[in-house]
Structures are given as structure tokens and as C-alpha cells.
Amino acid sequence: MSGIAVIAAMEREVSALVQDWELSRLEHASRTFPCYRRGSVYAILSGIGAGNAELAARAAIEKIQPRAVVSAGLAGALMRSLKIGNIVMPNVIIDAENGTEYRSKLGGEVIGGGVLVSSNAVASPDAKKQLVERFHGLIVDMEAAGVARVAQQCGIGFRCVKAISDEADFNLPPLQRFVNAEGDFQSGAFAAWAAVRPQYWMKIAALARNSARAAAALCDWLRLNLNEQLQAAEVVTLENPEFSKT
């Protein structure tokens, strides 16, 4: 096994990185995923959500057989100290739905470090506070747990790198309703919805600016660090050792 497979939810998260890469398709479980390649590094677009990210990671392992998978993308801050464009590399991934914990293991030691919580919905400020209280989370996304689960089950290396696109107190528009089952964001429907709601215009413009800044920071990190020397970790699964759903 060789090479690295980066799993990202949306093209805009990695477009600056892959603009001149070779484009192909990966098929798995009746799904087709865009796949960009340069040398031994691949970037697969999964769509939004942990389930879609899991399918894309399985497609990558089946077709590419990488030595490591990387969950890369944008994330929301759960702490006020994190600002737009900050890069976070969490070593603990928690699936908010069931509390399953995935810890990175390097050099024979289980690493603690920052906690990313993968949620099944776009997190509001109130939801973010609950994730902090329940899981002691640092950041929130919607995909990393799916990729970590596949890495653990398949026994391959794993890394996670996220760029902050919305700060802890930023109240996102209701984006979740515009994500379809395959994880595609319905931008046309969202634009039509927003066009008649001027109270959201400034917030949507700010989100677009912040997301572009975060994506640029993410692509800069990936451009510098994606190579065969990238150190990947074994994933150790802890079945809800500290946290409960109640």
C-alpha cells in the first residue's frame, strides 16, 4: 500500500489545491465520487456528512489502496480562542451520534490532544455549547468520524486537518435543509431562499468570505504537507469510555 487519500466534503474546500490535478471517478456501493490525483496523492470529494465520507474512504481503499487517509476540510470552532483560518489537527475524533471515540496512536502511545466532534447536523451556537459540555470538544465538523471509522476498521493510517470557517458565536443560516441525501449542497435552492430574506444577506456574505479564507489556509497546509513522509497514526477505538448520551 502506498499513497495518500484525502477525503474532503466539497470541491470548494480543496479547489485551490487540485485545480491542475488529473480528474477521474471512483465508484463504490452505487456511488460515484470525483477523484483528483497528483502523483501518489489523491483527493476524493465525498459530499457532506459522515456516512458519505465513510463511503468515499471505502472507495479510496478499495480502488487506490493508500497507506493513509486524511480527513480534510472546514470546521466550526467550539472555543472562542479559535479564529477564521486557524488550522487544527485533532488527535481525538468523537462521533456525536453514539459517543464512539477514535484516538490517534503514534510511537506506541495513545495521543490525547484536541477533540473534534462529528455532528450529524450543522451546529448552531447553542448546539456548539452542548458539544463542549458533553464532549469537551475543540471543533465540530460532519465528516471526520466516518473517515476515522474506516481507517480503524481497515487498519490503515489516519490524519485529520481542519480549517476554521465559522467561529464559536457565529450563527449560521439554516444550511442543513439544503443538503441532499448524497451530501450535495443545493446552492441554487439556497440562493432562491436567501434572495427573499435580506436579514441573512450580511451573514451569508460573511460566511462566504470566512469559508474562502479557511479553504485557502487549508490548501496551503495540504500543499506543504501532503507527501510520502506524512506521518499517519493508527486509530484506536474507545467505545464511549467517558461520555454518555444522557
pLDDT in tens, the chain (246 residues): 679 999 999 999 999 999 999 999 999 888 999 999 999 999 999 999 999 999 999 999 999 999 999 999 999 999 999 999 999 999 999 999 999 999 988 665 554 568 999 999 888 889 999 999 999 999 999 999 999 999 999 999 999 999 999 999 999 989 999 999 899 999 999 999 999 999 999 999 999 999 999 999 999 999 999 886 788 888 987 655 444 444
Q: Are 80 and 217 in contact (CB under 8 A)?
A: no
Provide the residue type at 23 as one letter: L
Q: Are 90 and 138 in contact (CB under 8 A)?
A: yes
Q: What is the pLDDT of residue 244?
A: 43
The phi-psi region of residue 35 (left if phi > 0; otherwise alpha if psi is between -120 and 50; otherwise beta) is beta
Quote the CA–CA distance of 75 and 172 in Å, as a whole number.
12
Quote the CA–CA distance of 245 and 207 in Å, as a whole number.
31
Please choose, from the candidates 62, 134, 129, 75, the residue with its C-alpha nearest in 3D space to the C-alpha of residue 101. Answer: 134
Q: What is the pLDDT of residue 220?
A: 96
Question: Tens of pLDDT along 25-40?
Answer: 999 888 999 999 999 9
Q: Where are the domains positioned within the chain?
A: 4-238
Give the domain 4-238 fold: Rossmann fold (3.40.50)
Q: Are 163 and 82 in contact (CB under 8 A)?
A: no
* Cell matching residue 165: 470557517
Q: What is the pLDDT of residue 245?
A: 44
* Cell matching residue 195: 434572495
Q: Are 204 and 173 in contact (CB under 8 A)?
A: yes
39 Cβ contact partners less than 8 Å away, ≥ 6 residues apart: none
Please choose, from the candidates 135, 139, 99, 146, the residue with its C-alpha nearest in 3D space to the C-alpha of residue 116. Answer: 139
Quote the CA–CA distance of 85 and 74 in Å, as a whole number.
9
Q: What is the pLDDT of residue 238?
A: 65
pTM of the model: 0.91
Q: Are 183 and 49 in contact (CB under 8 A)?
A: yes
* Cell matching residue 93: 475524533
Collapsed DSSP state (helix, strand, coil) of residue 99:
coil
Quote the CA–CA distance of 20 and 37 in Å, as a whole number.
9
Overall size of the chain counted in residues:
246
Q: What is the pLDDT of residue 231?
A: 81
